[in-house]
Structure 1
Amino acid sequence: MKISMQLRYEGGAADVVAAADQVAGLERAGLDLIWVPEAYAFDAPSFMGYLAARTSRVEIGAGILSVFTRTPALLAMTAAGVDALSGGRCHLGLGTSGPGVVEGLHGVPYAEPLARTRETVEVLRAFWKRDRPVTYDGRVLRLPLPPPDGGGEGGGTGLGVPMRLLTPPVRPAVPVWVAALGPRNVRLTAEVADGWLPMFFVPERCEEIWGAELRAGAAARDPRLGPLRVSAGGLLAIGPHAARERDRARGQLALFIGGMGAPGHNYYYDLVCRYGYAAEAAAVARLYRAGDRVGAAAAVPAELLEATTLCGPESYIKDRIDAYRAAGVTHLQVQPVPGEGRTPAAQVARLAELCA
Structure 2
Amino acid sequence: MKISTQVMYAGNPKDLIDQIVSLESAGLDQVWVAEAYGFDAPTLMGYLAAKTERVQIGSAILPIYSRTPALIAQTAAGLDAVSGGRAILGLGASGPQVIEGWHGVPYDKPLGRTREIVDICRRIWRREVITNEGSYPIPLPEGQGTGLGKPLKILTHPVRPDIPIYIASLGDKNVRLTAEIADGWLPTLFIPEKAESVWGSALAAGKAKRSPDLGDLEIVAGGMLAIGDDVEPLRDASRPYIALYVGGMGARGRNFYNDLARRYGYEAEAEKIQDLYLSGKKAEAAAAVPAEFAELMNLVGPAGYVKERLQAFKEAGVTSLTVTPIGENPAKLVEQVKEWLA
What corresponds to 1:29 in structure 2?
26
- Alpha-carbon distance, 1:144 to partner: 1.1
- Alpha-carbon distance, 1:264 to partner: 1.5
Q: Distance in 2 between matches of 1:293 and 1:103?
A: 24
What corresponds to 1:151 in structure 2?
none
What corresponds to 2:164 in structure 1?
175
The 3-state SS of whatever aligns with 2:81 is: helix
- Alpha-carbon distance, 1:125 to partner: 0.4
The 3-state SS of whatever aligns with 1:135 is: coil
For the Cα contact (< 8 Å) 2:220–2:321, is it kept in 1?
yes
Q: Distance in 2 between matches of 1:257 and 1:124?
A: 32
What corresponds to 2:7 in structure 1?
7
Q: Distance in 2 between matches of 1:345 and 1:95?
A: 30
Q: Distance in 2 between matches of 1:120 and 1:304?
A: 34
4+ runs deviating over 3 angstroms: none
What corresponds to 1:134 in structure 2?
130
The one-letter amino acid of 1:50's match is Y
For the Cα contact (< 8 Å) 1:9–1:19, is it kept in 2?
no
What corresponds to 2:312 in structure 1?
323
Q: Distance in 2 between matches of 1:238 and 1:229?
A: 26
Q: Distance in 1 between matches of 2:50 and 2:303?
A: 34
For the Cα contact (< 8 Å) 2:9–2:39, is it kept in 1?
no
Q: Distance in 1 between matches of 2:157 and 2:69?
A: 15
Cα deviations by residue, 1:240-295 (Å, 9 ceiling, x for unpaired): 22222100100000100111011121110000000110100111111111111111
Q: Distance in 2 between matches of 1:125 and 1:247?
A: 42
> In the alignment, which of 88, 98, 101 is matched to residue 98 of structure 2?
101
What corresponds to 1:233 in structure 2?
222
- Alpha-carbon distance, 1:9 to partner: 5.2
What corresponds to 2:341 in structure 1?
355
The one-letter amino acid of 1:355's match is L
Establish whether residue 337 from structure 1 lines up as the match of residue 326 from structure 2. Answer: yes
The one-letter amino acid of 2:332's match is A
* Long gaps (5+) in structure 1: 149-154
For the Cα contact (< 8 Å) 1:49–1:82, is it kept in 2?
yes
TM-score, scaled to structure 1: 0.94
TM-score, scaled to structure 2: 0.98
* Long gaps (5+) in structure 2: none
- Alpha-carbon distance, 1:335 to partner: 1.0
For the Cα contact (< 8 Å) 1:68–1:102, is it kept in 2?
yes
What corresponds to 1:308 in structure 2?
297
> In the alignment, which of 150, 156, 166 is matched to residue 145 of structure 2?
156
Cα deviations by residue, 1:133-155 (Å, 9 ceiling, x for unpaired): 111123x122112123xxxxxx2
The one-letter amino acid of 1:79's match is A
The 3-state SS of whatever aligns with 1:48 is: helix
Establish whether residue 113 from structure 1 lines up as the match of residue 110 from structure 2. Answer: yes
The 3-state SS of whatever aligns with 1:69 is: coil
For the Cα contact (< 8 Å) 2:32–2:59, is it kept in 1?
yes
Q: Distance in 2 between matches of 1:334 and 1:121?
A: 27
> In the alignment, which of 321, 329, 346 is matched to residue 332 of structure 2?
346
Cα deviations by residue, 1:60-104 (Å, 9 ceiling, x for unpaired): 111100000001100000001110000000011100011111111
Q: Distance in 2 between matches of 1:9 and 1:210?
A: 28
For the Cα contact (< 8 Å) 2:36–2:98, is it kept in 1?
no
Establish whether residue 186 from structure 1 lines up as the match of residue 169 from structure 2. Answer: no
For the Cα contact (< 8 Å) 1:233–1:332, is it kept in 2?
yes
Q: Distance in 2 between matches of 1:147 and 1:205?
A: 51
Q: Distance in 2 between matches of 1:165 and 1:179?
A: 26
Cα deviations by residue, 1:296-331 (Å, 9 ceiling, x for unpaired): 110001111111111011111111111111111100
The 3-state SS of whatever aligns with 2:151 is: coil
For the Cα contact (< 8 Å) 2:9–2:35, is it kept in 1?
no
What corresponds to 1:152 in structure 2?
none
Q: Distance in 2 between matches of 1:224 and 1:55?
A: 30
Q: Distance in 2 between matches of 1:167 and 1:218?
A: 33
Q: How many residues align?
A: 342
The 3-state SS of whatever aligns with 2:178 is: helix
Q: Distance in 1 between matches of 2:301 and 2:53?
A: 32
Q: What RMSD over aligned residues (CA atoms) do the two structures have, in Å?
A: 1.1
The 3-state SS of whatever aligns with 1:345 is: helix
> In the alignment, which of 180, 186, 191 is matched to residue 202 of structure 1?
191
Cα deviations by residue, 1:8-28 (Å, 9 ceiling, x for unpaired): 3535xxx12211211100100
For the Cα contact (< 8 Å) 2:37–2:98, is it kept in 1?
no
The one-letter amino acid of 1:125's match is R
